[in-house]
C-alpha cells in the first residue's frame, strides 16, 4: 500500500489545471512530480454521480501522458502482451500486481465508507491480469506504489526515467512549486497529450485518459 498524501486546495487547483475540470472522488495524492505538483492521484471506485470508476491510480500529468502515448504508439503494448504468453514468471508477477491493485481499491473504498461496486468487481486497470491495454494506468500504478509491484508499469517508468531525471535536475535548485509550467515540466499543460476516454474522475477532457468503456466491461 502506497502512502497517500492529503489532497490540498493547492493540489486540487493544480489537478484542475491538468485535467480541465474540478477533480472528483479523489482519495489523495499517490505520487508527486519533483516540482511538487500531483502526478498520480488515488480515486474512489464510484464517482459522485454514481458511475463506477476502475482506475484507482490515475495519471494526471499531461506531459507524462504524452510521452506514454508515444511509447504505446511504438507497439510496446503488443510486445509486452506477447511476453506474457511465453514467460510464466512474468505472468505471475503481473497477476499479483492485479491483485494488489484490487486490494488497494478495496482499502480506499472501505476507508471512505463506500459500498462495494459490483460493476467492476475483479476488474483492475490497464488490462491486468492477462492483457496489456493501457500503459498510462500501469505506469500510474508503478509510480504510486514504487518498484517491484507492477512489472510492466516499472518498465514504462524506466523508459521515462531520463525525462524525469532531467526535470528533477532542473527543479532541484529552485524548489519552486509555483513556477510557470513549461513543455519539459511533467506538471505542465500539454495539449498534445489529450486523448478521449470514458468518464474521468475530474473531466471529460484529460491528458491521461486511462479508463475506457472496454475496461469497465
| Closest to 19 in 3D by CA, of 47, 40, 50 | 40
CA torsion 120-121-125-130 (nearest 10°) is: -130
115 vs 215, which has greater pLDDT?
A: 115
pLDDT (0 to 100) of residue 168: 85
Number of domains in the chain: 1
Q: Which tens digit of pLDDT belongs to each residue from 100-144?
A: 999 999 999 999 999 999 999 999 999 999 999 999 999 999 999
Q: Which of 137-141, 158-162, 190-194 has the lowest mean pLDDT?
A: 190-194
Q: Which residues of 206-215 are buried (b: 16+ CB within 10 A; e: fewer)?
A: bbbbbbbeeb
Tell me which of 97-101, 115-119, 151-155, 186-190 is least confident.
Answer: 186-190
Is there a domain that residue 212 lies in? no
- Does residue 56 surpass a pLDDT of 70? yes
Q: Which residue has the higher pLDDT, 64 or 200?
A: 64
Query: What pLDDT sits at residue 217?
Result: 32
This prediction's pTM: 0.81
Q: Give the pLDDT confidence score for residue 27 in this predicted structure.
A: 98
Mean pLDDT of the region 41-57? 97
Any domain includes 179: no
Give me the residue label for grid cell 474521468: 200
- Give the pLDDT confidence score for residue 175 in this predicted structure: 54
- Separation of alpha carbons 121 and 107, rounded Å: 14
Is 98 among the domain residues? yes
* Domain of 66, in residue numbers: 9-166
Q: Confirm whether 72 is domain-assigned.
A: yes
52 part of a folded domain: yes
Q: Is residue 214 part of a domain?
A: no
pLDDT tens string 67-98: 999 999 999 999 999 999 999 999 999 999 99
pLDDT higher than 60, residue 215: no
Q: Give the DSSP per-residue string, 81-122.
A: HHHHTT-HHHHHHHHHHHHHHHHHHHHHHHHTTPPP-GGGTT
Model confidence at 169, in pLDDT bands (50, 70, 90)? confident
Q: Which pLDDT score, from 0 to 100, does residue 203 have?
A: 40
pLDDT at 202 over 70: no
Q: Provide the mean pLDDT of the chain.
A: 85
pLDDT at 174: 59
Q: Is residue 67 part of a domain?
A: yes
Residue 214 has pLDDT above 50, yes or no: no
User: What contacts 20, CB < 8 A, 6 or more positions away?
Assistant: 202, 203, 205, 206
The larger pLDDT score, comparing residue 131 to residue 206, is at 131
Amino acid at each position: 500500500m502506497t502512502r497517500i498524501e492529503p489532497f490540498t486546495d493547492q493540489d486540487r487547483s493544480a489537478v484542475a489545471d491538468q485535467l480541465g475540470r474540478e477533480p472528483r472522488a479523489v482519495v489523495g495524492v499517490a505520487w508527486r512530480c519533483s516540482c511538487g505538483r500531483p502526478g498520480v492521484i488515488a480515486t474512489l471506485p464510484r464517482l459522485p454521480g454514481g458511475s463506477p470508476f476502475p482506475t484507482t491510480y490515475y495519471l494526471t500529468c499531461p506531459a507524462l501522458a504524452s510521452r506514454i502515448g508515444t511509447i504505446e504508439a511504438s507497439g510496446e503494448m503488443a510486445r509486452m502482451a506477447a511476453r506474457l504468453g511465453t514467460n510464466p514468471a512474468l505472468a505471475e508477477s503481473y497477476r499479483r500486481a492485479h491483485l494488489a491493485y484490487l486490494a488497494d481499491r478495496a482499502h480506499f473504498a472501505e476507508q471512505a465508507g463506500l459500498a462495494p461496486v459490483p460493476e467492476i468487481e475483479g476488474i483492475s486497470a490497464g488490462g491486468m491480469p492477462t492483457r496489456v491495454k493501457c500503459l498510462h494506468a500501469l505506469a500510474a500504478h508503478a509510480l504510486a506504489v514504487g518498484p517491484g509491484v507492477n512489472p510492466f508499469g516499472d518498465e514504462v517508468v524506466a523508459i521515462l526515467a531520463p525525462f524525469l531525471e532531467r526535470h528533477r535536475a532542473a527543479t532541484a535548485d529552485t524548489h519552486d512549486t509555483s513556477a510557470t509550467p513549461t513543455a519539459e515540466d511533467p506538471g505542465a499543460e500539454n495539449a498534445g497529450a489529450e486523448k478521449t476516454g470514458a468518464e474521468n474522475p475530474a473531466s471529460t477532457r484529460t491528458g491521461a485518459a486511462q479508463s475506457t468503456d472496454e475496461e469497465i466491461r
